[in-house]
Amino acid sequence: MSAASKGAVSVAVGAASALTLLHTSSPSLSRSPAPSCRRVSHCEASSRPSDAPPVINLPQSTTKREEVLGVEFPVQLPVLTGPWAMPHLHQYISSAPRCMQNACWFPPARAYSLGLYLDQGLLNSYMDTGQTEPGLLFDDSVDKTFRFVFVSEKDPRHIRDGFARALRNALPLEETYDYVYDAGLREVNDFISHIRPFRMKSGSVLIVTCIAFPKPGRTVILYSDQPDVPPHFVGQVEGVGLRLAFHHLYVQRDKRGQAKYPAITGKFEKDLKDMLEANKAGHQQEGDQSTADKGREGGKEGK
């Protein structure tokens, strides 16, 4: 193996070890609540009767714009990990358009703009390690949220059929100790049943949060007819299959390095890598400044 290859392997192993360390030595990062929305201005769970689904008030904070379709995404997104859980914060990573045949210039081809969010606590802790490998954070063991904002008036049945077909095709064929293909199909069908009543018209928001722990995990669904109306809890799907399908569809590549939606996955990879590298550069700059300050202080004491 060449020196360059050994170096690349060393970086990958080190990064994987860092992610493992975050999950094992700090289990609260993936299992316990992230910072509560009570600690963020204008972000709280509405008081609801016991027989009504909870509503999530979005934070009135900085937004990021998906430039192709012109959709705004909040930088911090409060999400639910269960039907009656307090909202947790997920951090904006990237957004990308989804258009039929990538023909976003043609209005009828536009489907939705998709925002990707990661668990804020885990993301911050991973950044503290100085790692810059984005693929590790795309693992399905890392809690994340997909925020769909629909941008055109289409037949809801057409949208549901598209989701069903894409998610079924994204289910892994290889079964494991905690994943069975037939169970995955049932989870996809459950998801489609949950979104069946909704029109998913232009401006509608569908929020899908993938939770890995406790195993086998679950996928939580929120929905709002308008981007400025707080989304409400729709339901949750228990199991690993649906979570794997969403990951394989939007953020992961197969063994050949190919993605289901290359433009979306590539955009997510680039933006997350840029974020991690900028964070590392910032830490290095702070370290250099601290060293310089200590040097100046030492020089003064020597005089």
Longest dimension (CA), the chain: 79
CA–CA distance, 201 with 222 (Å, rounded to integer): 15
Angle at 121 between CA 115 and CA 125, to 5 degrees: 110
119 neighbors 80 (Cβ within 8 angstroms) = no
Question: pLDDT of 74-129, one tens digit each?
Answer: 999 999 888 778 889 999 999 999 999 999 999 999 999 999 999 999 999 999 99
State pLDDT tens for residues 54-85.
555 544 458 999 999 999 999 999 998 887 78
With contact defined as beta carbons under 8 Å apart, do 174 and 105 qualify?
no
The single-letter code of the amino acid at 149 is V
Name residue, tokens 């430039």.
67
pLDDT band at 293 (very low <50, low <70, confident <90, very high): low
CA dist 108 and 33 (Å) reads 41
CA 24, 184, 269, 80 dihedral sign is: negative
Fold of 12-289: Chalcone isomerase (3.50.70)
Task: Please say whether the beta carbons of 74 and 65 come within 8 A.
Answer: no
| Helix/strand/coil for 13 | helix
